[in-house]
Structure 1
Amino acid sequence: MLDWFKVNLQYILPKHLLSRLVGKLASAEMGSLTTGLIKLFIKHFKVNMDEALYPQPEHYRTFNAFFTRPLQPDARPIDEDENVIIHAVDGAVSQFGDINADSIFQAKGHNYSLTTLLGGKPEMASPFKDGKFATVYLSPKDYHRIHMPVEGTLTDMIYVPGELFSVNPLTAANVPGLFARNERVVTFFDTPVGRMAMVLVGATIVASIETVWSGTVTPPAGKNVQHWSYEKDTESSVKLAKGEEMGRFKLGSTIVVCFEKDVIEFDELTAGQVTRLGEPMAHVSPASDNV
């Protein structure tokens, strides 16, 4: 009954208003109050501050600065093997596997549309049909910067307006089409293993989604899908190395990464498995033309 209440309450809460209010508080400089909130958060969620570049709560002037804290340079070694696709974030595997035509598995009894997830543009989704996907959930205690699982050149970014349901495992198991109905930022890259899409999914009280090339994408929330295209072969091209930061969440959320058919093979992943940035997630498939 409690789980039913937690899920169904989200349908009636003013999620966008609540998220923006929390965002304003999280970006405010409130001195000792901010420090006190950070200390409570660290204690409640058991955040490991030993790996943070600045481990003292007093260093952070806003809650957002703490939440997007950088790590020490050696905290997340990057597997440099060119045949290895690395985990892009700290988190936990929600689901992974095959994209069946245009369908992605969300949870038992729930699938959602690849095309809808990627912004409703069939031409953008087409390369990923029958490919592979991985969904990773970032909990409040996790490091909230997102990095590249493989080197890539940015080609497109799409902002998709939508709901702001929670993306925790309980909600994922009970809200149909969750990741394709929440607000999200979809990024597309050309990589040595083909096309890659990285989807940054918004959620309740996620105050902001940012990328390193454009800064804050949302808020403010838009009412229409927006599409930006980028030059690939100019001095201004956005080229990011494997393991390099590509974006960040201010408060927790989820990523979905998609690859083309027959280009990668997942390592021994399991649902619920803890992920650490830089560790192997998959390998380039021997069947790939890019090997």
Structure 2
Amino acid sequence: MKTSTRALRQLFLQEDLNFLLTNRIPRIALTKLMGRFSQIRNPLVCRLSIAVWRLFTDLDLSDAKQQRFASLHDCFTRELQPGARQIEMAPEILTSPCDAIVGACGPVAGRQLFQAKGFPYAMQDLFGPSQDTSAFQDGSFVTLRLTSAMYHRFHAPQDCVVEHVTHIAGDTWNVNPIALQRVERLFCRNERAVLRARISSGPAMGQAIAIVPVAAILVASLRLHFLNLLLHLGYRGANELPCEARLRKGEEMGWFQHGSTIIVFAPKGFELCPGIANGERIRMGQALLRYPVESGS
């Protein structure tokens, strides 16, 4: 059984086949269908779905608060047991909002950054025409890819006030490394939200940060707790959402349904924390970006 499972995973990971299966299909229609299927509240359907899911992923539910689920959606959006993640509370640190694999990361070159080697894109294309990106010019960014098996909730990286949310309709391309190396400006094509916030404590108090959750195939629903809002492919509400939501570091902001990408932006002066590099696996609450503090301050 283990040998056949490994063989299935290796076949699916073959680049051409993976790209064909996950992108050369009716992406939006399949994503909507998956959304409806995941909501079916039937224990047998749920158990069989999770069993199939495990054939292709390293799904680990050992740290989940609940061990039994009524639907696939409940499993996707599961909570963690108390204490399952440690939050780095140093006031100069921005923590990872989610469990993830680090993708492209580093300095923003003016207002341009990379989704993958040789594939640049402009911040303005990602943030949308309504947003001013000057606060992040020459700043830093980290792309965080959530696989389907990971914990799918995301949390505030610092004490902050979320001041504005922009919803941008789009496609549902797969955001795995294979697609990122083949589809230019992929993040700028997909359904996404831009969460603009201001740090409310510590040495970087008053500085702007941005969190950009990007949807992907089979996942185009984003729950934002602080607005009591579900953004999805059929969303017909306002796309510009001013707010004043005060969050503490580590407080839950919302969840994805399935897996996707979050891009974190910080202004000039922040630097990557040790261990943050392309391909590294990190957990929610781990140190991500640091605002240098002078010795003795």
Q: Same fold (TM over 0.5)?
A: yes
**Runs of 4+ residues over 4 Å off in structure 1:** 8-12
Percent identity of paired positions between Structure 1 and Structure 2: 27
2:198 counterpart of 1:190: yes
1:207 CA drift (Å):
4.5
The separation in 2 between residues aligned to 1:188 and 1:271, in whole angstroms, is 25
Matched position secondary structure for 2:51: helix
The separation in 1 between residues aligned to 2:161 and 2:90, in whole angstroms, is 19
Structure 1 residues 267 and 127, CA gap change in structure 2 (3 angstroms) = same
Please name the residue that 2:112 is paired with.
Answer: 103
Please name the residue that 2:11 is paired with.
Answer: none
Pick aligned residue for 1:218 from 209, 228, 232: 232
Matched position secondary structure for 2:62: helix
The one-character-per-residue Cα deviations of 1:159-192 (angstroms, maximum 9, x if unpaired) are 0111110001111111100111111011010114
Please name the residue that 1:24 is paired with.
Answer: 36
Structure 1 residues 270 and 62, CA gap change in structure 2 (3 angstroms) = same
Amino acid at match of 1:87: S
2:125 counterpart of 1:116: yes
Matched position secondary structure for 1:50: coil
Pick aligned residue for 1:90 from 92, 99, 106: 99
Amino acid at match of 1:140: S
Please name the residue that 1:48 is paired with.
Answer: 60
Please name the residue that 1:252 is paired with.
Answer: 259
Pick aligned residue for 2:90 from 64, 81, 84: 81
Structure 1 residues 11 and 92, CA gap change in structure 2 (3 angstroms) = closer
Please name the residue that 2:215 is paired with.
Answer: 202
Amino acid at match of 1:219: L
Please name the residue that 1:132 is paired with.
Answer: 140
Matched position secondary structure for 2:34: helix
Q: How many residues align?
A: 276
The answer (yes or no) to whether the contact 2:216–2:259 under 8 Å persists in 1 is: yes
The separation in 1 between residues aligned to 2:242 and 2:84, in whole angstroms, is 34
Please name the residue that 1:233 is paired with.
Answer: none
Extract unaligned runs of 5+ from structure 1.
231-236
1:254 CA drift (Å):
0.4
Residue pairs, 1:141-290, within 5 angstroms: 141-191=149-199, 192=201, 193=204, 194-214=207-227, 215-221=229-235, 226-230=239-243, 237-286=244-293
TM-score, with normalisation over the residues of structure 1? 0.88
Extract unaligned runs of 5+ from structure 2.
1-13
RMSD between aligned residues: 2.0
